[in-house]
């Protein structure tokens, strides 16, 4: 696909949990203020995420010092790629529609629940603003699928279908299986796929505990790419990982969302890192990448994604050269 100059700027810093806009910027003071306004119920998980983020910053690095050619190439040219793919525009146009849609739907949540504590009746514009993956992460998933060209893609947690659309548009020859537990949300996702003309998606509706294993059993080919965003709890996350692990190849890529969302998710991420089949992981804070490449020593990298410090350093290097 042709590349053009990047059309987005800014950094992704905890607005991940509050906004689905193109530019992300928030300071710890602003985040704490918002949490206090929202109430004590929202403050505790947010405080955990802030502390987790600062722990992550202490451990994290960037491309400098990466000695793995595979990881360096992936990080420099795919994860931190700042160009623009034509497919982005259609998905973001659909997002803008949803962000202004006042329609109320009945939400059924089988996972860890809404981060905002919202009830069962929710407006589509609120779901698009607070629950849908922001453009930067959706577009990162697009680039990963575009890079690895998987034939079978599995997504756990469809929501409004925006992330699914990015996964689908990145490789029109891929078969995308996406799972959603809420019937009303699934219906909106189908409208998303239809409006974008995406014909390579199959939406499986129902509780993941009931639908995932039987659906995987029908596959004739391995799962090449999987995105986990279905249940942000320790036991279900590991159970879904093991179920998908039975249907992958050594070239498969698994991506886990919100690995620092809670103590349970951090424990799940650590257990997956230590899994005997896993040889390489990348912790980008917002998501974690898992690889199963044989003949490679077990390695774990903690790398910053779209961080303002790295942007300043890169600009300084360009100016000095």
Domain of 17, in residue numbers: 1-321
- Residue 308: per-residue pLDDT: 58
CA distance 90 to 170: 12
Exposure string over 78-90, b if 16+ CB within 10 A, otherwise e: ebbbeebbebbee
- Residue 196: per-residue pLDDT: 98
Task: Give the list of residues 6+ apart from residue 57 with CB closer than 8 angstroms, or none.
Answer: 304
Per-residue pLDDT of 63-90, as tens digits, reads 777 888 999 999 999 999 989 999 999 9
- Residue 9: per-residue pLDDT: 33
CA distance 146 to 88: 13
CA distance 169 to 86: 10
Structural domain count of the chain? 1
Torsion of the alpha carbons at 133, 134, 136 and 140, rounded to the nearest 10: 10
- Residue 13: per-residue pLDDT: 41
Region of poorest pLDDT, from 6-10, 99-103, 104-108, 260-264:
6-10
- Looking at the predicted structure, is the pLDDT value of residue 251 above 70? yes
Q: What are phi and psi of 269, to 5 degrees?
A: -65, -40
- Looking at the predicted structure, is the pLDDT value of residue 259 above 70? yes
In total, the chain counts a number of residues equal to 321
- Residue 8: per-residue pLDDT: 33
CA distance 205 to 194: 17
Q: What are phi and psi of 156, to 5 degrees?
A: -100, 100
Is 56 or 311 the better-scoring residue by pLDDT?
A: 56
Give percent of the chain with pLDDT exceeding 90.
68
State the CATH number of the domain containing residue 128. Answer: 3.40.50.150
Query: Average of pLDDT values for 128-141?
Result: 95
Is 38 or 231 the better-scoring residue by pLDDT?
A: 231
- Residue 73: per-residue pLDDT: 94
Give percent of the chain with pLDDT exceeding 70.
79
Query: Average of pLDDT values for 255-261?
Result: 96
Query: Average of pLDDT values for 200-227?
Result: 97
DSSP designation for 77 = I
- Looking at the predicted structure, is the pLDDT value of residue 314 above 90? no
- Residue 310: per-residue pLDDT: 54
Region of poorest pLDDT, from 100-109, 118-127, 211-220, 310-319:
310-319
- Residue 65: per-residue pLDDT: 75
- Residue 42: per-residue pLDDT: 56
Task: Give the list of residues 6+ apart from residue 205 with CB closer than 8 angstroms, or none.
Answer: 179, 180, 181, 183, 186, 211
* Full DSSP string of 87-137: HHHHHHHHHHHHHT---EEE----SS--TT---SEEEHHHHHHHTSPPHHH
Per-residue pLDDT of 271-308, as tens digits, reads 999 999 999 999 999 999 999 999 888 999 999 997 65
């Amino acid at each position: 696909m042709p590349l053009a100059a990047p059309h987005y700027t800014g950094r992704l810093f905890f607005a991940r949990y509050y906004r689905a806009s193109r530019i992300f910027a928030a300071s710890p003071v602003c985040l704490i203020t918002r949490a206090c306004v929202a109430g004590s119920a929202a403050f505790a998980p947010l405080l955990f995420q802030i502390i987790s983020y600062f722990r992550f910053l202490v451990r994290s690095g960037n491309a400098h010092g990466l000695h793995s050619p595979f990881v360096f190439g992936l990080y420099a040219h795919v994860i931190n790629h700042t160009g623009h793919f034509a497919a982005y525009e259609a998905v973001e146009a659909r997002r803008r529609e949803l962000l202004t849609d006042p329609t109320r739907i009945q939400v059924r949540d089988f996972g860890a629940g809404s981060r905002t504590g919202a009830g069962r009746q929710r407006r589509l514009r609120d779901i698009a603003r607070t629950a849908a993956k922001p453009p930067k992460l959706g577009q990162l998933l697009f680039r990963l699928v575009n890079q690895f060209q998987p034939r079978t893609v599995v997504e756990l947690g469809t929501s409004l279908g925006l992330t699914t659309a990015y996964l689908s548009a990145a490789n029109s020859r891929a078969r995308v299986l996406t799972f959603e537990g809420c019937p009303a949300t699934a219906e909106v996702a189908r409208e998303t796929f239809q409006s974008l003309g995406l014909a390579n998606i199959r939406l499986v509706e129902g509780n993941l505990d009931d639908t995932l294993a039987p659906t995987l059993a029908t596959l004739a080919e391995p799962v090449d790419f999987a995105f986990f965003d279905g249940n942000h709890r320790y036991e279900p996350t590991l159970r879904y990982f093991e179920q998908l692990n039975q249907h992958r190849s050594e070239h498969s890529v698994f991506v886990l969302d919100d690995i620092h969302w809670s103590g349970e998710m951090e424990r799940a991420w650590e257990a997956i890192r230590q899994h005997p089949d896993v040889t390489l992981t990348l912790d980008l804070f917002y998501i974690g990448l898992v690889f199963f490449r044989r003949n490679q020593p077990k390695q774990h990298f903690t790398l910053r994604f779209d961080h303002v410090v790295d942007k300043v350093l890169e600009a300084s290097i360009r100016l000095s050269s």
